[in-house]
Chains A and B, each alone.
Chain A
């Protein structure tokens, strides 16, 4: 009989005891270490002119808000631009530069450029991994006549390298952003 009684006492004791220990420190907040919040492509025209930036910024990561997409201006006709891509994680202070991580793991990453058919522009890779396959954080863009359309940038993690494009690259998408631009 005794064990039963002490058991009941014990169980209630345990419940009440654990129930009052509410003064523990709050868990620390977690800032996503891996997330890319900001994509910026900077286009510097060869021989001078207006630098154009395309930016997609999503400060709440996989939160409900869509990325904010900005295009600083229109591209010039018949121009050659030197392009660079910068990836940031702005949930951390100071913002973490993720481009360097991608460039360190160049064999496991590749950017792809998809130019809408109505846009008279062409993008070429300007940097490559250790095996001579494209990496694409740097590129050149050549424009011809005035037109409007889209440029999409896709970053794949662990794609098949070499490949003939997005269709057979496989891997998984780390980033996919689309911009509507004009050439004037």
Chain B
């Protein structure tokens, strides 16, 4: 604390020194684009020490007058560029041209001169979804929107529940940051998708690995960053409305946002979206009960100046998602029948009704944050956020119980965090921060079904420090370290028979509180200490050749599902069992990237290797009999695993109007202890795209997209089970992968200007153009039904 006072005091002193000079000097020059030297009009130049501004004219020219002699930092800002800080000596410098990276729209991040790399990490692998792609996906889920990025796939339950997977890993291993708030939305379940609306984000970046330690040390898969759109620093009112219609599902969505920025840097932004789809269709039949109704809205307000800012945000998300009726099954014989029949057991006429089984999820998020910049030092930020996630899952039940959720959980999280970015030095950036979190889970007992996830409280405390050092103009190094502490205190009922079957009576007898009928009330309390670290190197030559190498160590504490899960899942006809003995898993990930980015062509090669010890996985371990029949038991266990992968992408600008893009992803997962393939690893996939662009025809653009997904040949073995219906052992082909498939898509758009600042974009997008029948290995409903058939999407975007 005192150190900080001291530094501030020093800063104050140097400020006084500078002002005691004579003040009749001038400074002028131009602000231009870094790449092509085009003049940038409307840029703001700010000398904070003197509190003076200058703006560039149409030729990018600016001039300052009456400057005092001294050493200053001048900040150069442009609505579409990253803000840069340059050191200036007055009166030695009289003319100076500034170059800004015009292609990237960033938030309020301020980067220091010399660091030209524009990402979230120095040496990590990352991808940013283009604004265009984000808009095109405004009718889809987050998982679908980022699926097109190399190295990103998804684990689906039908087509509405899309769980993003990065480099083959999903769930708790992928963090979702929604405007600086780490989502706490029960990401542990296979059929739980992130509770976010893509329309609320201005940009989406995927960091593939744990190299961005400020967001969490447990991102063994990676981090998805949803950030707010840039706010221009001028008095303005603007917004947009996006309208989508879908042929498959016979519905659509509407999303609209409006931003008002006041003269004095206050702003307010309102955003809302609504989506409604009925039953979707495969090429041959209706996928009964696959509709969705989704509502999301957010309100954001605050004041943002260069030196300080304060911001508040509230967002609400509510989705009711129907789950394929045929995927709700009674026992193992039903599953065998479903797999063998090749067609859903229940096909009904099209309806918009959302019947059981279905999910109803609701997420509230509120945050307040503030930042302050200290000239010549850096930027300090602090944030408090609150989240409440309510998840209700309805099964097909008898009688009145059909209207009662079978699972009803309420997860409440409070987080406080603070960080300081020390970026005043030319060669080195430091970033340090603290985060504290408290979480409470309440499973509603009114369900009449034993709790799948128990009542628990969780405390977390994390601290990190990361640094970046610019070795030369081309080379930069980074390193970071993070410590996380977490404690979970649960109250859980175990069936006495289950307690004994798990072998807990010796090890955990001290946590039993009381015996209630045939159940035991227990109080498991666990603490976890995790260390994570990263280091890497980045080389950049002329902004055309990039080389990155990164090592990340990350550790993840087991989630409540891995520890406590205990019950029957109808959607998978399996009994899932957690284990109280599970400890943290550790990942060592090495990744590299080689990139060439030229006018005519470019490519990126990204190999990576992830070595995991105590990797937590869920796999079939046996069979249990109930009066309903037989069920395979899936237990969580820990093993050593290895993921090796390679992603590549390339583009060629053949001609001013023609462009092609190519991409491939490959990942291999292996359980090293058992010498078996890992489950749910994405198969090899290729994406090729041909684009035709013609600016003169209202920015006409048409693209043909080909997605080829090969068969996943590396899967764990199937299991043999006794079928009571057939009175014999049968092979349950639960791991048999579906064959390869090829889908063709089309997208085209036209742009029209409306008045002075308005713009209208119309697009036609067709997915699965040829109405191909396919099943996806990473769709949990592949046992029951084909994937979605042709979907024609008509989109209208109005900017105003």
Stretch at the interface among A6-14, A74-82, A120-128, A134-142: A6-14
B445 and A28 form a contact (CB under 8 A) = yes
Q: How far is the CB of A99 from chain B (nearest CB, A)?
A: 11
Could you name 5 residue pairs across A and B whose Cβ atoms are closer than 8 Å?
A: A1-B4, A15-B438, A31-B448, A33-B401, A34-B397
Determine if B108 is an interface residue (Cβ-Cβ < 8 Å). Answer: no
Query: Given A62-B631, A170-B345, is A29 in contact with B331 using a C-beta cutoff of 8 Å?
Result: no
Q: How far is the CB of B179 from chain A (nearest CB, A)?
A: 19
A176 and B448 form a contact (CB under 8 A) = no
B448 and A34 form a contact (CB under 8 A) = yes
Among B440-483, those with CB < 8 Å from A are 443, 445, 447-451, 454-455, 457, 459, 461
Query: Given A3-B382, A4-B380, A32-B450, is A60 in contact with B495 using a C-beta cutoff of 8 Å?
Result: yes
Partner of A7, one of B8, B382, B627, B631: B382
Q: How far is the CB of B92 from chain A (nearest CB, A)?
A: 34
Q: How far is the CB of A163 from chain B (nearest CB, A)?
A: 12
Contacts of A18 in B (CB 8 A): 438, 457, 459
Determine if B328 is an interface residue (Cβ-Cβ < 8 Å). Answer: yes
Residues of B in contact, count (CB < 8 Å): 68
Contacts of A174 in B (CB 8 A): 330, 628
Assembled-state Cα–Cα distance A26/B523 (Å): 10
Q: How far is the CB of B302 from chain A (nearest CB, A)?
A: 16
Stretch at the interface among B20-28, B264-272, B311-319, B511-519: B511-519
A140-167 contact mask (Cβ, 8 Å, vs B): 1 or 0: 0000000000101010111000000010
B629 and A173 form a contact (CB under 8 A) = yes
Contacts of A71 in B (CB 8 A): none
Query: Given A27-B491, A29-B519, is A177 in contact with B438 using a C-beta cutoff of 8 Å?
Result: no
Partner of B449, one of A34, A59, A65, A66: A34
In the complex, what residue of chain B is closest to A17 when comparing beta carbons?
A: B438
Given A1-B5, A33-B449, A63-B498, 11 additional A-B pairs, CB 8 A = A4-B1, A27-B451, A31-B448, A61-B627, A63-B501, A65-B497, A157-B330, A172-B570, A173-B330, A173-B629, A178-B724
B516 and A14 form a contact (CB under 8 A) = no
List 5 A-B pairs, minimum CB-CB distance, nearest first. Answer: A173-B330, A33-B448, A172-B330, A64-B501, A176-B629
A58 and B627 form a contact (CB under 8 A) = yes
Query: Given A62-B567, A62-B568, is A176 in contact with B333 using a C-beta cutoff of 8 Å?
Result: yes
Partner of B521, one of A26, A56, A57: A26
B498 and A4 form a contact (CB under 8 A) = no
Query: Given A11-B436, A60-B498, A63-B495, is A4 in contact with B328 using a C-beta cutoff of 8 Å?
Result: no
Contacts of B109 in A (CB 8 A): none
Assembled-state Cα–Cα distance A34/B501 (Å): 23
Among A31-74, those with CB < 8 Å from B are 31-34, 36-39, 56-67
In the complex, what residue of chain B is closest to A21 when comparing beta carbons?
A: B457
Determine if A85 is an interface residue (Cβ-Cβ < 8 Å). Answer: no
B495 and A30 form a contact (CB under 8 A) = no
A176 and B724 form a contact (CB under 8 A) = yes
Determine if A110 is an interface residue (Cβ-Cβ < 8 Å). Answer: no
Assembled-state Cα–Cα distance A37/B627 (Å): 7
Q: Which residues of B contact A (CB under 8 A)?
A: 1, 4-5, 8, 328-331, 333-334, 345-346, 370, 380, 382, 396-399, 401, 414, 416, 418, 434, 436, 438, 443, 445, 447-451, 454-455, 457, 459, 461, 489, 491, 493, 495-498, 500-501, 513-514, 516-519, 521, 567-568, 570, 575, 624-629, 631, 724-725, 727
Q: How far is the CB of A94 from chain B (nearest CB, A)?
A: 14
Q: How far is the CB of A86 from chain B (nearest CB, A)?
A: 13
Most chain A CB atoms below 10 A, which of B451, B501, B518, B625: B625
A91 and B396 form a contact (CB under 8 A) = no
Q: How far is the CB of A170 from chain B (nearest CB, A)?
A: 4
Query: Given A32-B449, A66-B625, A175-B627, is A27 in contact with B455 using a C-beta cutoff of 8 Å?
Result: yes
The B interface is mostly helix, strand or loop, or mixed, namely mixed
Determine if A101 is an interface residue (Cβ-Cβ < 8 Å). Answer: yes
Contacts of B345 in A (CB 8 A): 170-171
Contacts of B461 in A (CB 8 A): 15
Contacts of A22 in B (CB 8 A): 489
A30 and B518 form a contact (CB under 8 A) = no
Query: Given A27-B491, A62-B575, A105-B399, is A67 in contact with B445 using a C-beta cutoff of 8 Å?
Result: no
B1 and A157 form a contact (CB under 8 A) = no
In the complex, what residue of chain B is closest to A59 when comparing beta carbons?
A: B518
Query: Given A18-B438, A32-B448, A60-B495, is A4 in contact with B418 using a C-beta cutoff of 8 Å?
Result: yes
Determine if A97 is an interface residue (Cβ-Cβ < 8 Å). Answer: no
B498 and A64 form a contact (CB under 8 A) = yes
In the complex, what residue of chain B is closest to A173 when comparing beta carbons?
A: B330
Partner of B725, one of A10, A30, A152, A175: A152
Q: How far is the CB of A39 from chain B (nearest CB, A)?
A: 6
Q: How far is the CB of B101 from chain A (nearest CB, A)?
A: 32
Determine if A102 is an interface residue (Cβ-Cβ < 8 Å). Answer: yes
Q: How far is the CB of A104 from chain B (nearest CB, A)?
A: 7
Partner of B624, one of A31, A64, A154: A64
A102 and B398 form a contact (CB under 8 A) = yes
Contacts of B624 in A (CB 8 A): 62, 64, 66
A173 and B399 form a contact (CB under 8 A) = no
Interface size class of A (residues with CB under 8 A): 35 or more
Q: How far is the CB of B44 from chain A (nearest CB, A)?
A: 27
Q: How far is the CB of B139 from chain A (nearest CB, A)?
A: 32
B518 and A34 form a contact (CB under 8 A) = no
Assembled-state Cα–Cα distance A48/B420 (Å): 90
A26 and B513 form a contact (CB under 8 A) = yes
In the complex, what residue of chain A is closest to B501 when comparing beta carbons?
A: A64
Assembled-state Cα–Cα distance A116/B513 (Å): 48
Q: How far is the CB of A82 from chain B (nearest CB, A)?
A: 24
Assembled-state Cα–Cα distance A58/B629 (Å): 11
Contacts of B414 in A (CB 8 A): 14
In the complex, what residue of chain B is closest to A61 when comparing beta carbons?
A: B626
Assembled-state Cα–Cα distance A169/B16 (Å): 88
Q: How far is the CB of A96 from chain B (nearest CB, A)?
A: 11
B399 and A150 form a contact (CB under 8 A) = no
Contacts of B570 in A (CB 8 A): 172
In the complex, what residue of chain B is closest to A12 when comparing beta carbons?
A: B436
Assembled-state Cα–Cα distance A4/B454 (Å): 36
Q: How far is the CB of A50 from chain B (nearest CB, A)?
A: 26
Assembled-state Cα–Cα distance A62/B454 (Å): 17
In the complex, what residue of chain A is closest to B489 when comparing beta carbons?
A: A22
Assembled-state Cα–Cα distance A72/B568 (Å): 31
Contacts of B575 in A (CB 8 A): 62
B516 and A29 form a contact (CB under 8 A) = yes
Assembled-state Cα–Cα distance A17/B727 (Å): 59
Partner of B448, one of A30, A104, A177: A30
Contacts of B449 in A (CB 8 A): 30, 32-34
Assembled-state Cα–Cα distance A175/B724 (Å): 11
Q: How far is the CB of A161 from chain B (nearest CB, A)?
A: 13
Q: How far is the CB of B115 from chain A (nearest CB, A)?
A: 26
Q: How far is the CB of A65 from chain B (nearest CB, A)?
A: 5
Q: How far is the CB of A63 from chain B (nearest CB, A)?
A: 4
Partner of A15, one of B334, B455, B459, B497: B459
Contacts of A158 in B (CB 8 A): 346, 396
Contacts of A3 in B (CB 8 A): 370, 382
Q: How far is the CB of B596 from chain A (nearest CB, A)?
A: 44
Contacts of A154 in B (CB 8 A): 725
Query: Given A64-B501, A154-B725, A172-B334, is A34 in contact with B401 using a C-beta cutoff of 8 Å?
Result: yes
Contacts of A116 in B (CB 8 A): 727
Contacts of A58 in B (CB 8 A): 625-627
Query: Given A27-B491, A34-B448, A171-B345, is A63 in contact with B727 using a C-beta cutoff of 8 Å?
Result: no
B724 and A14 form a contact (CB under 8 A) = no
Assembled-state Cα–Cα distance A12/B463 (Å): 13
Q: How far is the CB of A81 from chain B (nearest CB, A)?
A: 22
Contacts of B448 in A (CB 8 A): 30-34
Partner of B625, one of A11, A38, A67: A67
Assembled-state Cα–Cα distance A65/B445 (Å): 24
A176 and B493 form a contact (CB under 8 A) = no
